Amino acid sequence: MSDSPSSDLAARILDTDRRALARAITLVESTRPDHREQATALLTELAGHGRQALRIGLSGTPGVGKSTFIESFGTLLADKGLKIAVLAVDPSSARTGGSILGDKTRMERLSRNPNAFIRPSPSQSHLGGVARRTREAVALCEAAGFDVVLIETVGVGQSETVVAELSDVFALLLAPAGGDELQGVKRGIMEAADLIVVNKADGDLKATATRTCADYAGALRLLRKRPQDAPGFPKAMTASALNEEGLANVWQQITDLADWRKANGFWQSRRDEQARHWFREEVKQALLAGLDRPAARAKMAELAEKVARGETAAAAAARAMIAALPDLRESLDDGVNSA
Amino acid sequence: MSDSPSSDLAARILDTDRRALARAITLVESTRPDHREQATALLTELAGHGRQALRIGLSGTPGVGKSTFIESFGTLLADKGLKIAVLAVDPSSARTGGSILGDKTRMERLSRNPNAFIRPSPSQSHLGGVARRTREAVALCEAAGFDVVLIETVGVGQSETVVAELSDVFALLLAPAGGDELQGVKRGIMEAADLIVVNKADGDLKATATRTCADYAGALRLLRKRPQDAPGFPKAMTASALNEEGLANVWQQITDLADWRKANGFWQSRRDEQARHWFREEVKQALLAGLDRPAARAKMAELAEKVARGETAAAAAARAMIAALPDLRESLDDGVNSA
């Protein structure tokens, strides 16, 4: 090993050092150019370590009992001897003042478990940045030898799409709901779900949970089958995180699906596809970043209004925008360049 | 009016000349650079004419009776004295040998109606190109004074997303289906639907159609309400294009929804948002076109494989790609530049 800072950090991460992992995640979360530089060097050094975790994506809106679920489910896995990392994708945490941080203190039992590593969501509201940070944090957790990486999101904006594109198996957590108080699954989210888990199937809500589960099972059957769907999947089931019921079944379903995908070639092909997807996204974002600079944004907004008012055709406005771009870049680089 | 070719064409289109409209659509369908130039000039000249049609998006897979539906529904509107244009978005038509062209000859009654204008899908398989062509064709039909523009798609790939982004009201056409032969609505398409119409509610299939309609009405209730949803929408209903039953109701629902949106400000705000969306798409596509050139594609593929194999981190590969882009462009411009 060389003695560059990132080399040392890489060696310690591969040696499953938790503090090194935490420091590395802080590095990939930073937007400072020199930190980005170091983060890229670290990830490059760690590329090809060959360790794979089972990446589980979990989406659930506030009120479905997500932290209780993660606490109980995570403890179940940790007690089996599995090393589990919990990461959060929460583009809203900047606004809500970091609700996930609160969750960490609520997940007291799990956070004390030596097999568990919980990382709260950073205060960053740009989804593109959150996606990259989380993807890189997942890579770091895999390098640090975790068996399971649970990536959770509150499903604000498109964050569940990000989580689905980061995970091997994607689960949607719902609360029981009667006819009049349907929770309204965001349109399109069922597209990504491998499992729907109706939580809080306990006490007075048990019957409602069973009915909600049947409703969603019906809705899932109306959707087209994907090649990566094992027989019987996507599937809806009930669970009670509070009473720790149904969690072993959720784990069983996840591993059954993961095993089936491994046996049928969909596991690796999905990962390869995701890697290509994220690489393309990185390139596109770097290319489109030129449109995000203040001068370019102002010009875009001005032209967009002309198009909306019918004063100019979109094709002509786009041509004008592309033509103006190099000038906007130059005037910016001369002046307020503070990336 | 000046006597440039596009000016003359513009004047004739505004004068509702059908042959001029057909010629203009052929122009926007062309990928020849000089034709693109003329098309952009024509659209710029026509911008701001102030005419608006009701744009209805219609998606339905083969077998749901889509051409019979358009024939009957279009005739109903044409007989009311409404001028109706039918456009198709079918990225697969290049492959299937132009099934929509076949549809035109099957829509014999409608195509003979003086109030109707039917334009088959061009043989173009690139969805981005199809989207632009259709958007520009819609603009031309509006300039030519049509009251209703029906934009239909077989829902291959993401074409129904394109159609939804082009329409004021989006309808999904389905066939009756029993438990075992569920047709599988593509995941995410319900996201865009304002209406679900279960066609073929006639003869032996009538009971099944009613049941299918109830199933989808239930599934729609499980989705989150959008601001632009009038009370009771999105809605599922049955119809029989064959017996011309339920079509007046479909029209009533569409106009009710359109009126509600106009009264509540969602009509124009949606159009403005769509105009901005398409403008941004034009700019992005122009910017990303650099990645589509052969030399850039080869480099992208090479780096993507390295990322997928874990040999390099996505961030590092993206940086390498951006750095290589100007060289790839230059070497291309020197050589095989044949856009």
List per-residue pLDDT tens for chain A, 339 residues long. Answer: 445 667 899 999 999 999 999 999 999 988 888 998 899 999 989 987 888 999 999 998 778 888 899 999 999 999 999 999 999 876 554 434 334 444 556 688 898 999 999 987 765 555 566 788 889 999 999 999 999 999 998 766 677 788 888 999 999 999 898 654 445 666 567 778 999 999 999 999 999 999 999 988 988 888 878 899 999 999 999 999 999 999 999 999 999 999 999 999 999 999 999 988 889 888 988 888 778 888 888 999 999 999 888 888 888 899 899 888 777 764 444 333 333
Q: Which of B36, B216, B304 sits opposite A276 (nearest CB)?
A: B304
Between chains, do A222 and B184 touch, taking CB under 8 Å as contact?
A: yes
Confidence of residue B223 (pLDDT cuts 50, 70, 90): confident
**Per-residue confidence band for B186, with pLDDT thresholds at 50, 70 and 90:** low
* Closest to B87 (Cα-Cα) out of B199, B16, B19, B166: B166
Looking at the complex, report in whole angstroms how far the Cα of residue A239 sits from the nearest Cα belonging to chain B. Answer: 20
* pLDDT tens, position by position, B253-304: 999 999 999 999 999 999 999 988 889 888 988 888 778 888 888 999 999 9
Residue A182 to chain B, least CA–CA distance (Å): 6
Integer-rounded Cα Rg, in Å, for chain A is 22
Mean pLDDT, residues B175-201 taken together = 76
Q: What integer pLDDT is reported at residue B332 of this predicted model? A: 40
Q: Which residues contact B29 (CB under 8 A, 6 or more apart)?
A: B122, B124, B133, B137
- Decide if A323 touches B, using CB distance below 8 A: no
Q: Tokens at residue B256, please?
A: 């009710």
Could you check whether the bond before residue A234 is cis, i.e. omega within 30 degrees of 0?
yes
Q: What is the pLDDT of residue A20?
A: 96
Q: Which of A229, A283, A311 to mutate to test the interface with B (most CBs of B within 10 A)?
A: A283
A 10 A CB-CB count for B29 gives 21
Kindly state whether B48 is in contact with chain A, defined as any CB-CB distance less than 8 angstroms. Answer: yes
Label residue B234 by pLDDT band (50, 70, 90): very high
Which of A236, A232, A248 has its CA nearest to residue A76? A248
CA distance, residue B84 to nearest chain A CA (Å): 22
Q: Give the distance from residue A114's alpha carbon to the nearest chain B alpha carbon, in angstroms.
A: 29
* Interchain contact, B303 vs A279, CB within 8 Å: yes
* Residues 6 or more apart in contact with residue B254 via CB below 8 angstroms: B54, B56, B169, B171, B195
Position A115 scores a pLDDT of: 96
State how far Cα B271 lies from the chain centre.
14
Interface probe for B, chosen from A28, A30, A196, A279 (most Cβ of B below 10 Å), is A279
Cβ neighbourhood burial of B251 (10 Å; 0-12, 13-18, 19+): middle
Q: Does A277 touch chain B (CB under 8 A)?
A: no
Query: Do B310 and A283 make contact, defined as CB atoms within 8 angstroms?
Result: no
**A64-68, A153-157, B115-119, B315-319: least confidently modelled range:** A153-157
Instruction: Give the per-residue pLDDT at A202.
Output: 96
Q: What radius of gyration, in Å, describes the C-alpha atoms of chain B? A: 22
Q: Is B216 on the interface with A (CB under 8 A)?
A: yes
| Partners of residue A309 in chain B, C-beta under 8 Å | 48
Instruction: Answer whether A276 sits within 8 Å of B186, measured CB to CB.
Output: no
| Separation in Å, CA of A73 to nearest CA in chain B | 27
B277 contacts chain A (CB < 8 A)? no
- Which pLDDT score is estimated for A91? 58
What letters, b where the CB count within 10 A reaches 16 and e where it falls short, cover A15-50?
eeeeebbeebbebbbeeeeeebebbbbbbbbbbebe
pLDDT value at position B10? 95
Reduced to 3 states, what is the DSSP secondary structure of residue A236? strand
For residues B167 and B55, is the Cβ–Cβ distance under 8 A?
yes
Closest C-alpha among A58, A77, A54 to residue A196: A58
Shortest Cα distance, chain B CAs vs residue A75, angstroms: 31
How far does Cα B169 stand from its chain's mean position?
Answer: 12
Residues of chain A contacting residue B316, judged by C-beta atoms under 8 Å apart: 40, 43-44
Q: Which of chain A's residues have a Cβ under 8 Å away from the Cβ of B218?
A: 215, 218-219
pLDDT confidence of residue B336: 35
Looking at the complex, does the CB of residue B222 fall below 8 Å from at least one CB of chain A? yes
Nearest C-alpha of chain B: how many angstroms from A224? 4
**Residue B173: enclosing H or E segment and its boundaries?**
strand B169-174
**Interface contacts A/B by beta carbons within 8 Å:** 185
Contact assignment for B313 to A40 by CB distance below 8 Å: yes
* Chain B residues close to A221, C-beta within 8 Å: 182
C-alpha–C-alpha distance, residues A243 and A267, integer Å: 32
- B300, A283 contact by CB (below 8 A): yes
What mean pLDDT is predicted for residues B196-217?
Answer: 93
Query: Which residues on B lie below 8 Å from A46 (Cβ)?
Result: 313
From A268, which residue of chain B is nearest by alpha-carbon distance? Answer: B308
What letter does residue B122 receive in the DSSP assignment? P
Residue of B229, B279, B303, B306 to mutate, interface with A, max A Cβ within 10 Å: B279
Percent of chain B with pLDDT over 70: 83
Residue B195's pLDDT band, with cuts at 50, 70 and 90, is: very high
**In whole angstroms, what is the distance from residue B286 CA to residue A133 CA?**
28
